[in-house]
Amino acid sequence: MADRPPAPVNVSVMHLRADSVTVSWEVPEEDIIIGFSISQQRQDGHMQRFIREVNTTSRSCVLWDLEEETDYIIQVQSIGLYGESQASKKIHFRTLKKTDRFPSNSSNQDDPTVQGLDKSRHLQTGEMIIIVVVLLMWAAVIALFCRQYDIIKDNDSSNNKEKVKPSSERSTPEHHSGGLLRSKFHPSVPSINIIEV
């Protein structure tokens, strides 16, 4: 069929481990690719797995749950709008022993991804330090907010106490002549302090 996409090219494996590997590939730029399909098979033919993913522009996939020191064969197909491509060339690889970090005869030792394997523990520690610092900062912000809230609440309650005084203190009785009883000239009449709010 003429509308089928071309097969993926430059299929390769990297990040080879005892139980996983990353498969990557390239596709021609002018074709519309909406997904991929990978067939994974043990070389002895006992196990075969198909992985199919659509609505992605990814050009790599991690294969998990592999058996250590086992030979595998993989092929990749592109998925286009009108079907799948032919399968890519077969790629053979062998998983490592669990004790191996990378193959001793590997030419990938200059690969930054292989060199970065030893630093993964430091990166996780650094991430944990950042997370702890951020959490402590948030705890400090929350504590300051709660303290400010308590201060505001205490101020509001003391203001309300001044507003809600007994009725004898809130209102000033009127003198029978219509004036207020607040006079310094009459020693028999006590002075009343009025607080305006």
Residue 90 has pLDDT above 70, yes or no: yes
Whole-model pTM?
Answer: 0.50
The pLDDT value given to residue 73: 95
Picking from 112, 85, 120, 91, the residue whose alpha carbon sits closest to that of residue 11 is: 91
Q: Which of 1-5, 93-97, 175-179 has the highest mean pLDDT?
A: 93-97
> Among 183, 163, 164, 185, which Cα is nearest to 173's?
183
Please report the pLDDT score of residue 110 as a whole number: 47
pLDDT for res 150? 83
Q: Worst-scoring range by mean pLDDT, 10-19, 147-156, 166-175?
A: 166-175
- Residues 39/48, Cβ–Cβ less than 8 Å: yes
Stronger pLDDT, 124 or 93, i.e. the higher one = 93
More confident residue, 129 or 6: 6
* pLDDT tens profile 172-188: 555 455 444 444 455 55
d(CA 61, CA 58): 8
SS3 string of the chain?
Answer: CCCCCCCCEEEEEECCCCCCEEEEEECCCCCCEEEEEEEEEECCCCCEEEEEEECCCCCEEEECCCCCCCEEEEEEEEEECCEECCCCCCEEEECCCCCCCCCCCCCHHHCHHHHCCCCHHHHHHHHHHHHHHHHHHHHHHHHHHHHHHHHHHHHHHHHHHHHCCCHHHHCCCECCCCCECCCCCCCCCCCCCCCCC
% of the chain beyond a pLDDT of 90: 38
CA max distance for the chain: 117
pLDDT the model gives residue 8: 94
Q: What span, in angstroms and rounded, lies between the C-alpha atoms of 14 and 108?
A: 9
**pLDDT tens column, 97-119:** 988 555 444 444 444 444 444 44
Percent of the chain with pLDDT over 70: 66
- CA 154 vs. chain centroid, Å, equals 39
